[in-house]
Amino acid sequence: MFSNKDEFKLAFLKKLEMGFGKTFPESTVRDQYHTLGNMIREFISTDWINTNEHYRLTKQKQVYYLSIEFLLGKVLSQNLMNLGIYTIVQEGLSDLGIGLEQLEEIEPDAGLGNGGLGRLAACFLDSLSSLGLPGHGCGIRYRHGLFEQKIMNGYQLELPDHWLRHGHVWEVRKEDLSVEVPFWGRVECTKTGENLEFKHLDAEYVTAVPYDLPVVGYNNSTVNTLRLWSAEVSPYPVNKDIMHYKRETEMISEFLYPDDTHDEGKILRLKQQYFLVAASLRSIIRSYLNRKGDIKQLSKDICIHINDTHPALAIPELMRILLDEYRLGWEESWEITRGTFCYTNHTTLSEALEKWPIHIFKPLLPRIYMIIEEMNERYCHELWEKFPGEWDHIQEMAIIADGVVKMAHLAVVGSFSVNGVARIHTEILKDREMKLFYQHSPEKFNNKTNGITHRRWLLKANPELSSLITDTIGNDWVYQPEQMKNLLPYMNDSAFLDQLAVVKQKKKEQLAKRILDQNGLLIDPTSIFDVQVKRLHAYKRQLLNIIHIMHLYNRLKEDASCDFYPRTFIFGAKASPGYYYAKKIIKLIHSVAEKINHDPAVKERIKVVFMENYRVSLAEEIIPASDISEQISTASKEASGTGNMKLMMNGAVTVGTLDGANIEIREKVGADDIFIFGLSAKEVMKFEQEGGYNSMEYYYHDKRLQEIINQMRNGFLPDVADEFEPIVDSLLTENDQYFVMRDFDSYVNIQQQAGSAFENRQKWLRMSLRNIAMSGYFSSDRTIEEYASQIWGISNTSLETSIN
Ligand SMILES: *Cc1c(COP(=O)(O)O)cnc(C)c1O
C-alpha cells in the first residue's frame, strides 16, 4: 500500500480527493483525519483477514472476553505505532503541512466505559494481540459513551457524549452477521417421547448488528477483533405500536450506564446485559461450528471470560442453546458450560453486587429464568448432600434467594475459574466475601493481579521517557517490559538522573501549558505535581486529599515562614450523575481551589487544579507529568486500581494505603520508595465488624480537623453556608464510614515526608527511577500471559512471533 513517506503522501492525497471530492487545499482537518483513518483501516485489513484465516486453519482455541465496557480512548496513534508506520505517516503529513497531533485532536475518545474495569478490558485487548494470542472482545456499541463533564461554577454538568457524530473510521458494520435476540413472551413446554421440549413463544425480537474493530498487535501482524453490538429494529413482526417498539429497541444500545458500582435496578440495564451475551454467544458458536463442527467439544476449543458479573447471563444462555437447540441432556450441557466460562470479580463493595428481582427478571427473560431456577435447584441439592441440614449455609450460597437472582453466585457456580484482581483482593474474596464458595470449590479460585499496557501508557503517552529508556538499555523492554529492571544500575549515574529530570520537567511544562489553556491558571512547573485522577467515589477518598490541602493552607496562613515546598494539586474525576455526595466533593474541591488560588499570601506555594472531563486521552497528558500518585482509598475497598500502575510506570511516587495493587507495588519498589500510611485492611474490617471507631472523638481532639470542618460550614469558603452539610454529616453524624478522620494524621505525616524527599533532588530521582524500573511487572502482558497459561490454556501459535 505504501512503504515510504512519498508513497504515503501520494496515496493520502489520492484518497482524500476520492473520498471527499475536494483538492487538498480545500480539505478540512476533519476530512484529513477521516482520510487517514480510512486509509489505515484498509492498511490493516490484510493482516486482519490473514489472522482470521490463520485461526480458522489452525483450529486453535479462541478466547472471548465479554465486557459491558471497553474504554478504548483514541486509537489512531496507537494503531500507527503498533503497525510500525508512525514515523512514515508523521513525516509524510508534515511535508504536507499537517501536524499528526492536529488530526489526533479531532479523533473522539471511544469512551464506552466508566473507569478501571472498562480500561482494563481495553488494555487486555492490546496485550492479547501484541502477544499474538487468539483473544477477542465482545461489547456494546453505545451511541453515547460516558457523559462529557463540564464544570459550571464548581458544579458538574453532564453533556451527552457524541462520539459517533461524524462516524467512526475504525469500525466495519457487518449487517450480514446480524442475529436476533428475544425478550418477553412465554415458554411452552411439550413432551415428545421421553424428552421435554421448550419453545419461547410470542417473544419480541431485537436485531443485534455487529460492528467490528480491528485490534492491532505491536509489530507482529496479528489483528484480533473487538465486536460491538448495536440494537436495531427486527424484521420480525411485533404486537405493539411500531414507533414505541423502535424507541425501546434503540434504547438498548443508546447509553452506557454512568455508574460502575451501584446497581440501577433498571429493566433496561438487564436488557443490555442479555442483549450482549445472547448476540455474542450466537456469533461465537456460529464461527466455532464453521471452524470445527462439534458442539460437544466446545469447552475444549473455546473459553468465554466474563468481566465482572454484567455478562454472567452468558452461562444460562449457553445452557439454553445446548439444551433447546442442540438437544443435549442437562448433565452434558452443564459439563460443557462449566468448562467454558471463567469469571473475574472486580469488587467486594456489597452495594455493587448485582442482584435482579425475580419480578423483573422472569417476564423479560422467561426461558433463561427457568434455566437459572433449575441450576439453583440442582446446586442446592448438591450442597445439601455436602452439608446436610445446614439450611442457612445453603440459603447463603443459593443463586436465587430472597426474591432476587444473585449474579455473583451464578457466575461462580457456572465457571471453572474465579479470579480476583490483586493479591489482597483475592484473599478477601476467599476469606470473607466468597468464603463458602471457596470452601466448597477451592480449586476454582485464583489471583490475577491487573496490569496496564505499557505500549499506550509509556510508549505512546510518554515518548520522551520511552526514548530515554531505549537509549539507555536498548529496546528489548518494549517486548519484555520486565527488562526495564536493567535501568536499576543507573541509580547512581548522575548524568542519567539528570536526563530523567529533564524528561519529567518537559512533561510538566506541557501539562502546565494545557492547564493554562484550559483552566486559565498559571501554575509553577517546578512545583510538586501531586495528582489524584480517578472516578469520584467516597471510598477513593478525594475528601481526604482536599482536607489535607485545607490543612496546608491553614498552616501557611498561620505561619508564612514555615518550611513548605510549593505544590500543585491536580484532580480529575467524574461523578456519576445520580451520586449526590460525589458531586458535593467536586464542589468542595472547587471552593477550596477558589479560596486558595486567589489568596496572594499562598499563591506561590499551593495551587489547586481541577481538570474537567477526565478520560483516557486526558490521563495520557496528566500521568507522565506527575510527581506524586495519590492512591488513598480506604484499605480493603479498592480491588486493585490500575491508575496506580500507570503513574508508577511514568516515574510518579505513590502516596497510598496498603490497598489493592499498592501492596504489590510496595513489594516491587521496596518500602523506601513508596509512602504508605493509614489503617490496614485488617484494621478497617475489624472496625467494621466490631465497632470501636468514633469519628466525633477526632473532631473534638484534633484541632486541625475541627478547624477544617468548621470552615466547611462557617462561610470561610466562598459558598452558602449549608452547601457542604452532607459532607460534614458523613464525617460526624454518620461516623465517617471511610475513616477519613482516622487516617488524617497519618496522611499529613506521610505527605510531609514525601515533600521533604522531593526537596532532595537526587534522592527523589532515584525513587522515581526505581518506580519506573520495577513497573514492568504491572504490564498487562504479564497479566495476560498468566490468564493465557493458567486459565484459558492458549498460547501464541502465530507464524510471526512477537519476539524481537
Ligand atoms: C486507568 C483509568 C482509570 C482507573 O483509575 P483508578 O485510579 O485505578 O481508579 C479510570 N479512568 C481512566 C480514564 C483511566 O485511564
Mean pLDDT of 18-42: 95
* Least reliable range by pLDDT among 228-237, 345-354, 621-630: 345-354
Both 469 and 561 in one domain: the answer is yes
Mean pLDDT of 238-249: 91
534: CA distance to ligand 1 center in Å?
5
With bands split at pLDDT 50, 70 and 90, how would you rate the model's confidence at 533?
Answer: very high
**Per-residue pLDDT tens digits for 717-772:** 987 779 999 999 999 999 999 999 999 999 999 999 999 999 999 999 999 999 99
- CATH number at 261 reads 3.40.50.2000
pLDDT of residue 351: 77
Residues ≥6 apart with Cβ < 8 Å to 767: 653, 669, 672, 673, 757
Both 400 and 466 in one domain: the answer is no
pLDDT of residue 618: 98
Total structural domains within the chain:
2
- Answer yes or no: is pLDDT of 802 > 80: no
Both 269 and 182 in one domain: the answer is yes
| DSSP assigned state of 727 | H
Domain boundary among 363, 391, 415: 415
Both 506 and 367 in one domain: the answer is no
Both 579 and 506 in one domain: the answer is yes
Both 221 and 311 in one domain: the answer is yes
CA 451 to chain centre: 11
- Answer yes or no: is pLDDT of 483 > 60: yes
**Per-residue pLDDT tens digits for 396-417:** 999 999 999 999 999 999 999 9
Question: Is residue 603 in some structural domain?
Answer: yes
- Torsion angle of alpha carbons 784, 789, 790, 792, nearest 10°? 80
**Per-residue pLDDT tens digits for 487-528:** 999 999 999 999 999 999 999 999 999 999 999 999 999 999
pLDDT of residue 554: 97
- Residue 454 annotated as catalytic: no
Question: Is residue 605 in some structural domain?
Answer: yes
The residue from 425, 540, 574, 766 that is catalytic is 540
Amino acid letter, 653: V
Count of positions (residues) in the chain: 804
Question: Is residue 378 in some structural domain?
Answer: yes
Question: Is residue 663 in some structural domain?
Answer: yes
Question: Is residue 339 in some structural domain?
Answer: yes
Query: What's phi and psi for 418, nearest 5 deg?
Result: -130, 120
Pick the residue whose CA is nearest to atom 4 on ligand 1: 116
Question: Is residue 305 in some structural domain?
Answer: yes
Domain range for 370? 59-74+109-415
Other beta carbons within 10 Å of 502: 12
With bands split at pLDDT 50, 70 and 90, how would you rate the model's confidence at 1?
Answer: confident
- Answer yes or no: is pLDDT of 803 > 50: no
The residue from 5, 320, 346, 615 that is catalytic is 346
**Per-residue pLDDT tens digits for 84-131:** 999 999 999 999 999 999 999 999 999 999 999 999 999 999 999 999
Both 253 and 386 in one domain: the answer is yes
pLDDT of residue 259: 74
Q: Write out residues with Cβ below 6 Å of ligand 1.
A: 115-116, 119, 534-535, 614-616, 619, 641-643, 646
CA distance 483 to 499: 20
Both 387 and 463 in one domain: the answer is no
With bands split at pLDDT 50, 70 and 90, how would you rate the model's confidence at 692?
Answer: very high
Both 286 and 354 in one domain: the answer is yes
Question: Is residue 143 in some structural domain?
Answer: yes
Domain boundary among 415, 440, 473: 415
Pick the residue whose CA is nearest to atom 15 on ligand 1: 616
CB of 799 closer than 8 Å to CB of 47: no
Both 409 and 458 in one domain: the answer is no
- What cell does 427 get? 484473599
Mean pLDDT of 640-666: 98
Both 388 and 508 in one domain: the answer is no
Alpha helices per DSSP H over 160-223: none
* Mean per-residue pLDDT of the chain: 95
Domain boundary among 391, 415, 439: 415
753: CA distance to ligand 1 center in Å?
26
Mean pLDDT of 648-655: 98
510: CA distance to ligand 1 center in Å?
21
Mean pLDDT of 608-630: 98
**Per-residue pLDDT tens digits for 250-266:** 999 999 997 766 666 68
Both 143 and 277 in one domain: the answer is yes
Query: What's phi and psi for 300, nearest 5 deg?
Result: -85, -25
Question: Is residue 707 in some structural domain?
Answer: no
Pick the residue whose CA is nearest to atom 5 on ligand 1: 643
Exposed, middle or buried by CB within 10 Å (0-12, 13-18, 19+), for 327? exposed
CB of 24 closer than 8 Å to CB of 13: yes
